[in-house]
Amino acid sequence: MDFTDFLVRNCPKSAMYIPNFITSDEEQRILKQVENAPKPKWTQLSHRRLINYGGVPHPNGMIAEEIPSWLQVFVDKVNNLGIFESHKANHVLVNEYQSGQGIMPHTDGPLFYPTISTISCGSHTVLEFYKPEIESAENEESNSSPNQSQLSEKYKRQLCCKLLIEPRSLLILKDSLYHDYLHSISEIKEDLVCDNVCNLANCAVPYKFGDRLQRKTRISLTIRHVPKTTRMKLKFFT
């Protein structure tokens, strides 16, 4: 697929944003399936809850599990784009964010093929990207001589850009934006459309600076390829 029309300009490489990737009926189907998911499936965190489908990623290898047929339909739809090259997505992370909930700056890390795709349902959100920088700080020890000091490294984060993520959209992240930047969602109930939102030209709705958008409950499907998998359950000996 040619992603030229969906490439987000004015942000680091590479983000592709496809509005209305799924229909309203498909969105409602996803929301209903997630709503009806058995409670034991959910992992409750302090600011969101989640379900792993396809297995739980682990450095020693993900024990592969079958993805439910209702969800596999959307995995196939993403796979048909060819974003994982010769690979196929085999894992879906379902996140539920209530209005006012978010996630701290993070990277998806080395357990995944370096491309991620996310379908959003139910509400918009704003994804923020930070460039981690290392600055040297003098940390003088009491036993150091006057002309000696120890350099310690501390990380600071600099906001680079924001992406407005609409319901029913697909976001694809890869290249430097995947490897070199942290991404997060602020814990707020209202988003202000401002000049550091890079993808307004890609959005389905003609937003303008100063618009205030109220968040609702959002369900995200992060569809990824986990290279290291096994179908053998680990055995423990006592």
For 19-69, how does the pLDDT look when each residue is reduced to its tens digit (9 = 90+)? 999 999 999 999 999 999 999 999 999 889 999 999 999 999 999 999 999
Question: Reduced to 3 states, what is the DSSP secondary structure of residue 79?
Answer: helix
At 104, give phi and psi (nearest 5°): -70, 160
Lowest mean pLDDT segment, chosen from 60-69, 128-137, 197-206 = 128-137
Query: Does the pLDDT at position 209 exceed 60?
Result: yes
Q: What pairing do the DSSP bridges indicate for beta strands 62-63 and 229-230?
A: parallel
User: Whose CA is closest to 41, among 67, 7, 13, 18?
Assistant: 67
Neighbours of 86 (CB within 10 A): 5
Domains defined along the chain, listed by start: 4-124+166-186+215-230 (2.60.120.590)
Mean pLDDT (the chain) is: 89
Q: How confident is the model at residue 154 (pLDDT cuts 50, 70, 90)?
A: very low
Check pLDDT > 50 for residue 142: no
DSSP letter at 108? -
pLDDT score for 1: 79
Q: How many residues does the chain have?
A: 238
CA distances to 6, 37, 139 from 43, rounded to whole Å, are 33, 12, 41
